[in-house]
Structure formats: structure tokens, C-alpha cells
Structure 1
Amino acid sequence: MLNLKELAPEESARAAYGARLRRLREEREWTQEELAMRIGCSGSHISAVETGRRSPTRRFSASADKALGTGDALERQGRAVWSPAILEGFTEFVAREVKAAEIRIFELGIIPGLLQTPEYAAAITMGAVRRGAITEQQAQERLSLLASRQTSLERTPSPLVFVVLDESCIRRPVGGPAVMDAQLDRLCEFAELPSTVLQVAPYELGERRAFDLPVHLITLPDRSQFAYAESAQQGHLERDMRFVQPLLTAYHQLQAEALSQVASVAMIEQARKGTP
């Protein structure tokens, strides 16, 4: 009997799709070659889709639904692969984040999700809907996941959370004055918590700012460490300490260069009042 690769559907939308395709195929007691014959592709292609090595196309999904008699179930699930609400790697990262003993965040342009008010989060998400980047259903998926992540911070014992915000995060208006005022108030409240440190990396840092992309670093209770970074279209979860350690070092250097928490809160309060 062949040794099948164990699937991890929680890792990404593509992995979840592959796991479902395998389950549907095995329920019918078909081999990969038998399903491939019904769809019109090769058995190796079925294997690649099932194990997440290849993304399913719309045509593949429609053919698979027809062969398996699943209506449009796979085609609908495939939409999360073609236009994902959650970037690849992020779901696996969140599964670790909710267990983390320490969380370190650097963000550019917008307030990081863990610190967002519901109104700020809704404004950011609906902006993506209006641009056609995601659907309204995907927007709700994002907001639901964010609410779950924020709730996880209330566990006992609380994780230590270190946040460095690029100054652009507090200067960029989102959702109108009332939403932005409430969001800046939320940042000040966050800074007062006993298990948090909030700092602002001012524009004056220039080339001394350690990162050009948002970065999340987590340390689990067993002291294993992971890093997650993303661009507009791609996310990446780093598990190899050879690559995580330099990011941690750069983060600590950034903390040393950033404003103190007292000075950071003062800057946020000035932004809240609209003063330079």
C-alpha cells in the first residue's frame, strides 16, 4: 500500500481544497488514476492538487464537481484559492499565535489586526470589497477570524505583546474622524496593559528602520519561534530558526531605535488631537 502524504487542511485554502478532493475521491473508493480519467487529466495532476503542490483551476474544479457529483461545491471552495480572503500561511500562523507566550509585531500603513477596533477593521475590510479584491463573504471571514484572534489575547496567562508601529499607521486616516479617534484611543488603552509594550517608529528613522514589510514574530511556551511576513498578495510562514533568528535580532534593533512607550503614546495623543 502506498504511503500517502498526510494533509494539513488548516495550513491554507489550497491545502483545504486538496484534503477535500482526496476525501471525496476516497469515499467513492476511486484511485487517483480513476478520478483523473473521469476528469480528463493525469493521476499525477490529481496527486499534486490533493497535496497542495498545485492550485486547482476553475476548469479543473468544474470537471471534478461533475465527475464526483458534488454540484458546484469544489468550484465554490476553489474561489478561496483563486481570490483568497486569507493569505497562504496565515491560517497556520494564527493556529500558533493563539498559543503564543510572546507576540512581536511590526506594521506599516495600518493598525495591526490585534489592535484594531471593530469599526476600523470593518472600514479596512470593506475598502478591499469596494476595490474588488475580496467578496463580501470573504470580508466576513476576515472579520470573524480577527475577532477570534483578539479574543485569544484575553486568555490566562496573557501573552506578552510587543508592537512597533511605523508612524504611517497613526497618520493614515481610515473610516473617517470618529473611527480614527476611537482607534487611536484604543492604542493608548493597549499601551496601559501590564503585558504590552507599544512603540512608534518615527519617519525620522529613515533607512535605520529595520523592516520594509509587516512582520509578526511569535514565541510558543516551549520557546519555539516562528515568523510571518506578507506583501499585498502573498504570505509566508517561516519555521526555520536559521531565518527566524535574524528577524528577531532586527526587531530588537528596531525597538531600540523607536520612540519609548511614553513618547509613542504622546505622539498618538497629539495625532488624536490633530496637533503636529
Structure 2
Amino acid sequence: MAFGIAGKVESFKRAYYEIKRGSLMEGFPEYLMRESQAAEIRLFDAGLVPGLLQTHAYAQELANGAVQRDEITPEQAAERVEFLIERQAALVQTPPPLIFAVLDESCIRRPIGDQSVMDEQLARLIEFSQLSNTSLQIAPYSMGALRPFDRLVNLLTMHDRSLMAYTESQSQGYLDRELTSVVPLMKRYHQLQTHAASQAESVAMIEQLRKGTP
């Protein structure tokens, strides 16, 4: 999250309506508005640290990579990073949402940027784990076929206890509100949490990486 950044949902909404067309994946903006209103947020990703947990430098490296691949313009890259900070700040509210994050081991081992960028990002994950409204687990490679997801999956529980799921293909995001498809994803997420490393084990794994040990 945007630790130390004072933000409100209203400022996020302004940024949302002002953001230029094309800098966010199709389907993602609708999810973001729901995310800012959620009581509970469950995150899973493989390969990349989820946006809500990214540092500015890590996010900037990802945006720069998209520019080099000719996917977005430099202006859109700057806008994407600024909007991410607004997104994180929108969740700094009272009471804050509960945020559960399970990261595939590849998220912490895949180098993004130089060593200083990764060290700052790993430190951010540890800081995130210490908050009273968060939970952080690493799904180790040893889970093998027990890992139920191969791509990003975000699950929202709203204040009225309704459920939503957000998933992505390579080019498009999709927000699903149908219980017949969302409830099975929630069940798989619970299975993921059961088989993933505990928070204490996960933090120890991250600390070992920061020390340069496998």
C-alpha cells in the first residue's frame, strides 16, 4: 500500500475520471472502483508483485518496460504510475479493508530493476505483513500442482457481503459478479492459503532473499 501517503477515496475517483484512455487494461477501471469500496480484498499473482503492494520504483520499472515494448507511450507510463499511487492511497481509510495477499514465489524471485529496486520492494512486502489489517503468504514452488491459479486473481468482499472476482487474460480484464463462478474461486483461494507458507515462514523467506541467500 502507499504507506505514509494520506489519500481519500474522493481523490482516487478524481484521478480515475481524469485518466487518459488506453493507459489501463480494458476491464480494469471498473474493478478499481469496486476495489476502493471493498471490505475485504484477496490478491494472488504470479511473476509480479500485485499493484497494491508495489513501490513507486518497482511500478516505474514495469511501466518503462511497457514503453520499451511499444505498448504505451512515456506519458501513459507516467500516468499509470501516478494512478497506482492514487489507487494505493484510496485504501488508506478508516476502517481500512482487510487485505489478504498470496504471492507465488516467482513474485519475489523475479528481478525487476536493479538490486536496490528489488530490496526496497521486498522491504515493502515485510512492512505490509506487519499491518493489523493484512496477511501475506508466499506460495512456494514446492506447492507444484496444488497451486490452483496460474494467473492474477483478485477477489472482493463488499460491505454487504456480496462477492466479486477479477481475472485477466494477456490483453483484457474481466470483473465477475456471478456467484456460480465467483464462489468456486473463493474456495480455491482458501485452498491456496492452506497450502501456502505461513506468514512467518513467508517473511523469513523474503528476509533471506534480502540477505542474498537462497
Please give the TM-score of this superposition, normalised by the length of structure 2.
0.89
Q: 2:50 aligns with which of 82, 106, 112?
A: 112
1:145 matches 2:87: no
Are residue 218 (structure 1) and residue 156 (structure 2) matched? yes
Please state how far the C-alpha of 1:273 moved relative to its aligned partner: 1.1
Q: CA deviation at 1:137?
A: 1.9
2:24 corresponds to which letter in structure 1? I
CA RMSD of aligned residues (A): 1.4
Unaligned runs of 5+ in 2: 1-12
The secondary structure found in structure 1 opposite 2:197 is coil
Is residue 260 of structure 1 aligned with residue 198 of structure 2?
Answer: yes
Distance 2:57 2:146 in 1: 33
Structure 1 counterpart of 2:37, which letter?
K
- Which residue of structure 2 lines up, in the alignment, with residue 270 of structure 1? 208
- After TM superposition, the runs of 4+ consecutive aligned structure 1 residues lying more than 3 A away are none
The AA in structure 2 aligned to 1:256 is T
1:32-58 CA-to-partner distances (Å, cap 9, x unmatched) read xxxxxxxxxxxxxxxxxxxxxxxxxxx
- How many residue pairs were aligned? 197
SS in 2 for 1:88: coil
Gap regions ≥5 residues in structure 1: 1-9, 11-15, 17-76
Specify the code of the residue in structure 2 equivalent to 1:179.
Answer: V
Q: 2:94 aligns with which of 156, 159, 166?
A: 156
Amino acid at match of 1:195: N
**What's the CA shift for 1:254?**
0.2
Using the TM superposition, give the Cα deviation of residue 213 of structure 1 relative to its aligned residue in structure 2, in angstroms. Answer: 0.7
Q: 1:144 Cα shift?
A: 2.3
Report 1:1-276 matches (<5 A): 80=21, 84-276=22-214
Identity of matched residues, %: 55
Q: Deviation per CA, 1:223-263: give whole Å up to 9, x if none.
A: 11111111221111111111110000000000000000000
Instruction: Report the Cα distance in structure 2 between the residues aligned to 1:189 and 1:214, rounded to whole angstroms.
Output: 22
Higher helix share: 1
Query: Which structure: larger Rg?
Result: 1
Q: Partners of 2:131 and 2:184 in 1: how far apart? A: 28
Q: CA deviation at 1:188?
A: 0.3
Greater relative contact order structure (CA < 8 Å, 6+ sep)? 2
AA aligned to 1:184 is L
Cα offset for 1:88? 1.6
Distance 2:25 2:61 in 1: 19
Query: For 1:235 and 1:211, how far apart are their aligned partners in 2?
Result: 16
Distance (whole Å) between structure 1 residues aligned to residue 191 and residue 172 of structure 2:
26
Matched position secondary structure for 1:198: strand
- Per-residue CA deviation, residues 120-145 of structure 1 (Å, 9 max, x unaligned), is 11011111101111111221221122
Query: Match of 1:271, as an amino acid?
Result: L
**Which deviations, in whole Å up to 9, do the C-alpha atoms of 1:166-185 show, x marking residues without a partner?**
00000011110001001000
Q: Which residue identity is paired with 2:143? A: L
Pairwise CA distance, 1:149: 1.1
